[in-house]
Structure 1
Amino acid sequence: MAHHEQQNTDKTDAEIVDRVWELAEKIDFCMFVTWDGERQQARPLSARVRRDEHAIYFLVSSTGHKNAQVEQFPVVNLAFADNAGMNYVSLSGQAEISNDRSKIADLWSKFDKAWWDDETDPDIRLITVRPERAELWDSPGKLIAFTAMLTAAVTGAKPDFGDNATVRI
């Protein structure tokens, strides 16, 4: 069940949650943000969004700092940006790293050949993120948003940048 923490929208919680999942799937790449105990680190990763499993999956190399960071500090943030449409989603939740070979094979796509020969490569690991909170900035469109900024600059009025809401998912 979704729960508003703050909102600037006329959408229902269910509509916001639907839009969060829809945008995450459409945008694909996100900045995957971890914590190492001292600072945050972000890197771009391709997201395999599976709403029916309440999970977002990532195929990653078995080496790399993010794996140790996920194991030590499992709360991560996923920042999705559709700059052309001015739509943004920030998700946070628990991440887990595994060597689930059947799930890796299930998620494998031809685009992964850029990093590995095939889904049986022993270097591949799976990161599963279970989203708990989401924040949505859903613009009515770039042209409208630009016009709103221009109007605000001329009149001093606060621009309307569309919907913004935080929900638990």
Structure 2
Amino acid sequence: MSGTLAQLYETIDDIEIAMMTTRRPDGHLRSRAMATQKPAPGADLWFVTCDGTSKLDEIAHDPHVNLAYYRDGNREWVSVSGIATISRDRAKVHELYASDWKAWFPDEGDPRHGTPDDPRMVLIAVQVHAAEFLEIDKPRPVLLYEFVKGWLTGTEPEFGEMHSLASPHRPAGA
């Protein structure tokens, strides 16, 4: 596979929400919306959640996750497979903290609530194993033309360029 982590970051940079899929202990898959945090050392992708949530139990049981991103404006999509770990590192919480986290960690009587010192804040670190994404650099009218052309001719529309990213943490094919 070819590609770089920088291409992945560039593609998801302005997609605010990822659908994170975990595996429940009974084997069934579960997805939920999660906000990707700013890049920081220690993981390829970071997320924040509240301690005690089922997603943390699911990651502890099986750390394999999938992250799906979709940009409605031009139909670009990204699928990321990775290994998630749970971090309660307060220094990393301080490093990643954003003021909008307060909305997800309301004040329940503790002066630390909603601040970077909130003990309920837990990080999910994801190391990317592989990613695939469709990069579209065509204007909407051209995309519509490609769709109609494909439908009329029975050929696959040419929407954009597919990219694959091998893990930056292990050799391709491993």
Indicate the TM-score class for this superposition, using the shorter chain for normalisation: 0.7 to 0.9
Counterpart in the other structure of 2:19: 31
More strand by share: 1
Counterpart in the other structure of 1:22: 10
What amino acid is the match of 1:101? R
1:156 shift after superposition: 2.6
**1:63 partnered with 2:60:** no
What amino acid is the match of 2:65? V
More helix by share: 1
Ranked by relative contact order (alpha carbons within 8 Å, sequence separation 6 or more), the top structure is 1
Alpha carbons 1:25, 1:48 under 8 Å: kept: no
Counterpart in the other structure of 2:29: 40
Cα RMSD (Å) of the superposition?
Answer: 1.8
Which runs of 5 or more residues in structure 1 are unaligned?
5-12
Q: TM-score, with normalisation over the residues of structure 2?
A: 0.82
**1:140 partnered with 2:128:** no
Q: Deviations over 1:50-73 (max 9, x none)?
A: 276552111100021100000110
Which runs of 5 or more residues in structure 2 are unaligned?
106-113, 168-174
Identity of aligned residues (%): 24
What amino acid is the match of 1:144? V
Paired residue total: 157
Structure 1 runs, 4 residues or longer, greater than 3 Å off? 51-54
Alpha carbons 1:24, 1:49 under 8 Å: kept: no
Q: TM-score, with normalisation over the residues of structure 1?
A: 0.84
Counterpart in the other structure of 1:168: 166
Counterpart in the other structure of 1:78: 67
